[in-house]
Structure 1
């Protein structure tokens, strides 16, 4: 059945908006070329989109640069404002952006663990409001929130977890109450995987597994370009994966006997100490493991400045360049651990690619990724490429912003016709 004129107009408008989003400002002639529409149809859609406040003339093109054919049209970026929050156990980070994703303001706030639930929620909400004011955003259209823990796939709500601060769950409810915006909550590791897919190390892959290595561990699964959450939202809870070498088994309420015990930040720091490495000072919000892994990767690559993290003979702190032998042995041992979790994921999913993300995964760079890939090759007959993530801990905010932007554009770009 052919589309009605109204439906056809909406489809054409959406197509034109997507082109302007992906390619930047275009002339009417360029829109005609890329859409395949007739000149009158393009003229009509340009008039509709201008009337709806979605596009505007942003310049002129051509040698003479005058007349209707020279006008260059672009999306009105301040048609909607968006926000993204990265909610961690130690605090919260916020960015506010325009409809095209350009960051206008950002902020971060540590949350004292001893602070009560309501004061913590009030501080986080106040941070969002102050950052929005700094960005000049009178009203937020959509807010993407990345949080640790399970997200109920049916309701989109953050589920109760005994391992997370109570203010996490209350924050989402407070945002939904206080903000007229749509509040979209997603697991932090899932958002990081989306960010690596859209703007990071997995841009050329439509199927891959993402391993988050930060304070804790997690995983996300992208198959055929789509994030897979599982029946209860728990796909990728790899911290609970039973693996050898932990001295026990995980339980329904404690991942201490699972893969978490081998690859969390504290466990990696203990492993580094066993290899005579010193732990460099890290920012309060950053996992200490990321610093020692970065220094070791630099030492293996013979990069300067890694001496503060690696011990010399007999375990004493090195006064000069770092000992690349100690660093290499540590990275080898760490790769053995990471490969245990990665091998289980690849045996079930055969993703063809594993991205080592989070602050620690990014810090290891090619030195750690190559070692994990060699271990996987020995453990599994399935060919699997291992890459270091490009975005590190910033991937959560980036993914939350993508989520908010997609929601706003889906609504606004539905077409005025």
Structure 2
């Protein structure tokens, strides 16, 4: 059945808007070439999009030809503003952009030690939540963002696949569990939350080490460990939102087993930042950390600079244990070592892990170093919320 005129117009509008987003300002003639639509159809849709406030004239072509220069049309980037949050257990970073993702303001604040855990921390959450909310409000004001449309959050913890809400998880500070709910109550903007490793995988796939891959696993190596599964082009969250909780994976060498309430005896005990720093110390690797960089990342950088092959080989063997389990079950073909530690190790650590993985699994698995490091969480949160906002706004009502 052919599309109705109104449906066809909506489809054409979205197509033109995507080209304007991806290619930058375009003339009506360029839109005609890119979309394959007729000149009258392009003229109608341009006028329609200008009427909705999504597109405006942003300049003229500089081509030397007879007659007037052609008008350049561009998306009205300040039609909506977006905010992305990277919520860690000990810090919050906020980024505010326009509708196209151009950065307008950025700020971070430490949140102190995550000492308010469990039921005893409920009363301590209030001041920390207020501090995080105030940071967002100040950054939005600094950006001059008067039209905050959506807020995207990347956070540790389980995201309920049915509701999209952050679930209470053991080991997280109380302020962290209450922040999303507080933002949803205080803001008129839409608030969406996703697991931090999942949004990091989105960023690495779109702009980093996993470009060109529709099936891969991101192994997050930062303060803690996690995994994100992208299979056949889709991010997989699992039945309860817990797919990728690789820190709980039982592995040899930890001296114990994980439990329902803690991953101290699991893969986390071998590859978390603190465990890597202890391993480095045993190998005599002196690392100077500081700021927000995990100690494990500083240790890896120091080891590479010093040529500490013993430490790097043992670390690669540890990482390969988790990668081998993932490879045996999912056969992703590619594992990206993400997070601050994955980026610090770079291609050298990735090559060592790939070599050891080849000895543990018959399934060939390429290992790549993440390109975005810890910044992948904030970038992924922005990409996610930008896509959702554009999907909503780029559907103007047909006239």
**TM-score bracket for this pair, using the shorter chain length:** over 0.9
- Other structure's SS at 2:84 match: strand
- Which residue among 209, 214, 235 is the counterpart of 1:201? 209
Question: Match for residue 382 of structure 2?
Answer: 401
Once the two structures are superposed, residues 107-135 of structure 1 have per-residue CA deviations (whole angstroms, 9 ceiling, x without a partner) of 00111236821110100000000000011
**1:146-185 to 2 correspondence within 5 Å?**
146-185=154-193
Q: 8 Å contact 1:83–1:96 — kept in the other structure? A: yes
Confirm whether residue 137 of structure 1 aligns to residue 145 of structure 2. yes
Q: Tell me the distance in 2 between the aligned counterparts of 1:69 and 1:222.
A: 46
What is the rounded CA distance, in whole Å, between the counterparts of 2:108 and 2:65 in structure 1?
45
Cα deviation for residue 279 of structure 1 reads 2.1
Bigger mean CA deviation after superposition, 104-113 or 7-16: 104-113
The answer for the alignment partner of 1:244 in structure 2 is 252
**Where in structure 2 are the equivalents of 1:22-37 lying within 5 Å?**
22-37=22-37
- Conserved? CA contact 2:285–2:302, under 8 Å: no
Q: How does 1:185-196 map to 2 (within 5 A)?
A: 185-196=193-204
1:352 is matched with which residue: 320, 333, 339?
333
Q: Distance in 1 between matches of 2:130 and 2:268?
A: 32
The TM-score with structure 1 as length reference comes to: 0.91
Partner of 2:324: 343
Q: Distance in 2 between matches of 1:66 and 1:412?
A: 37
Structure 1 partner of 2:14: 14
Alignment gaps of 5+ in structure 1: 300-321
Give the structure 1 partner of residue 234 of structure 2: 226
Alignment of 1:210-225 (within 5 A): 210-225=218-233
Shift of 1:223: 1.1
Contact 1:11 1:415 in 2 (8 A): no
Out of 374, 380, 392, the position equivalent to 2:355 is 374
Asked if the contact 1:96–1:131 (Cα under 8 Å) also holds between the matched residues in 2, the reply is yes
CA distance in 2: counterparts of 1:128 and 1:139, whole angstroms: 14
Tell me, yes or no, if structure 1 residue 98 matches structure 2 residue 98: yes
Gaps of 5+ in 2: 117-123
Q: Does 1:294 align with 2:275?
A: no
Over 3 Å counting, the alpha-carbon distance change for 1:251 and 1:354 in structure 2 is: same
Report the Cα distance in structure 1 between the residues aligned to 2:30 and 2:396, rounded to whole angstroms: 20
Per-residue displacement from partner, 1:14-71 (whole Å, max 9, x unpaired)? 0000111111111111111111100000000000111111111112114237867611
Give the CA RMSD over aligned residues. Answer: 1.3
Mapped to 1, the partners of 2:142 and 2:68 lie a distance apart of 37
CA distance in 2, matches of 1:177, 1:204: 39
Give, in whole Å, the separation in 1 of the partners of 2:210 and 2:176.
Answer: 29
Which digits, 9 at most, give the CA deviation of each residue in 1:239-271, with x for residues without a partner? 000111111111111111110000000110111
SS in structure 2 opposite 1:26?
coil
Q: Is the 8 A contact 1:28 1:69 kept in 2?
A: no
What CA distance in whole angstroms lies between the structure 2 residues aligned with 1:98 and 1:42? 26
- Map of 1:306 onto structure 2: none
For 1:34 and 1:77, locate their aligned partners in 2 and report how far apart those are by CA, in whole Å.
21
Distance in 2, matches of 1:72 and 1:373, equals 49
Aligned length, in residue pairs: 390
Deviations 1:350-384 (A, max 9, x none): 11110000000110001100000001111111111
Question: Matches of 2:65 and 2:153 in 1, distance apart?
Answer: 44
With normalisation by structure 2, the TM-score equals: 0.95
Deviation at 1:407, TM superposition (A): 1.2
Deviation at 1:281, TM superposition (A): 2.5
Cα deviation code 1:199-249 (max 9, x no counterpart): 111111111000000111000001122111011000000000011111111
> 1:414 maps to what in 2?
395
Structure 1 position 169, deviation (Å): 1.7
